[in-house]
Amino acid sequence: MFADLWIDEFRVPPGKKFKLKNYDPGWTGGKEFADLGKHAAKERAEAILAERVKELTDAQELLYADNRYAVLVVLQAMDAAGKDGTIKHVMSGLNPAGCQVFSFKQPSAEELDHTFLWRLARCLPERGRIGIFNRSQYEDVLVVKVHPEYLPTGRLPTGKVNDKFWAARYEDINAFERHLVRNGTVVLKFFLNVSKKEQKKRLLARLDDPAKHWKFEAGDLAERARWGEYMKAYEDAISATSTEWAPWYVIPADAKWITHAVVAAILAKTINELDLRFPVLSSQDEAALVAARKNLEGKSDSPQFGEPGT
Ligand code: ATP
Ligand code: MG
């Protein structure tokens, strides 16, 4: 019930101008949670997270056995919005063999020598797997839009870097994602929507706690100073790329427990809505299993070295 509510609440409808001001970073469960009080609400969200993680564990096993679909989870956010924590919590119940996480940072010289989608295409999840992109193809229309100086302009055939240039990138991303979806990769995109105020609190907490000093990066302050430009870039990108086939979800990120529970709920529900099934064995395969049992239980199974008879 909560999952359904959350999915509708946070999915960005395709084809409309998306306005960040309509999505509250501080949302903590709406009316149903408000009546519980803060402590009980947190406990409830943690219980939901535990339920969803369990549901995800089962869904992942089926995804793996079915082996037709892959799931790609795209995580985008400002610094300290909680991408790492979300990955850690949401994936806590998953089998690591069926799960891959890739982090995309400043592109290497080799990556810049290719089109901007190249490095992403090399990291896509295989069938049966869940792949997580910690930052993604969207950096190329977010950080690069705020810092056009990062573009390898000398080596791009494009003329001016203007609205048309960015519109072409959105179009390329949409086509790339459409290709993935048509071929069995489900694409889910999450923007962890943290407020500027909460980011300040978290950055200060990193300075206050010596154990967190390693997490503090002075460069994050320079990006924080350009908050407005980033929000505008997010609005433009999400408006242009929340599609029927690959929707964006804008997740409240000022309270970490809500972020984790909402992401887990959406992920579990999406996987459960696929027509997944365990492979059905043919009669020959079933007969082979009976023969295998006979073999293992019968005399023909050779003893281990060192056992009597070897
Ligand atoms: P954390 O700070 O929690 O470790 P992070 O995702 O911020 O995680 P960093 O190594 O701090 O990781 O930062 C990676 C940086 O790389 C970000 O500032 C991001 O905007 C930048 N980046 C990612 N992709 C591109 C790109 N295509 N072009 C330029 N910069 C990029
Ligand atoms: Mg960082």
Q: For 13-40, what is the mean pLDDT?
A: 87
The residue among 70 and 258 whose pLDDT is bigger is 70
Q: Which among 307, 36, 270 is positioned nearest to 130, based on CA atoms? A: 270
Span from the CA of 3 to the centroid of ligand 1 (angstroms): 31
Atom of ligand 1 nearest to the CA of 140: 27
The distance between the two most distant Cα atoms of the chain, rounded to a whole number of Å, is 81
CB atoms within 10 A of CB 88: 12
Residue minimizing CA distance to atom 26 of ligand 1 = 106
Q: For 19-38, what is the mean pLDDT?
A: 85
- Residue 43 banded pLDDT, cuts 50, 70, 90: confident
* Top-ranked range on mean pLDDT: pick from 14-28, 231-245, 279-293: 231-245
Question: Ligand 1: which of 75, 87, 139, 220 to mutate, most ligand atoms within 8 Å of CB?
Answer: 139
pLDDT at 1: 45
Q: For 213-230, what is the mean pLDDT?
A: 94
- Residue 3 banded pLDDT, cuts 50, 70, 90: low
- Residue 6 banded pLDDT, cuts 50, 70, 90: low
**Could you write out the DSSP letters of every residue in 223-249?**
HHTTHHHHHHHHHHHHHHH--SSS-EE
257: pLDDT strictly greater than 70: yes
First to last CA, the chain: 61
Identity of residue 195:
S
- Residue 5 banded pLDDT, cuts 50, 70, 90: low
- Summarize pLDDT for 108-160 with one digit per residue, the tens: 999 999 999 999 999 999 999 999 999 999 999 999 999 999 998 777 887 78
- Residue 16 banded pLDDT, cuts 50, 70, 90: confident
Q: For 218-245, what is the mean pLDDT?
A: 97
Tokens for 87, please give them: 């990955």
Percent of the chain whose predicted confidence (pLDDT) is above 90: 77
Tokens for 36, please give them: 């519980």
Residue minimizing CA distance to atom 13 of ligand 1 = 105
Residue minimizing CA distance to atom 25 of ligand 1 = 106
CB atoms within 10 A of CB 241: 23
Task: Output the ligand 1 site: residues, CB below 6 A.
Answer: 79, 84, 104-107, 134-135, 139-140, 143-144, 150, 217
Atom of ligand 1 nearest to the CA of 116: 27
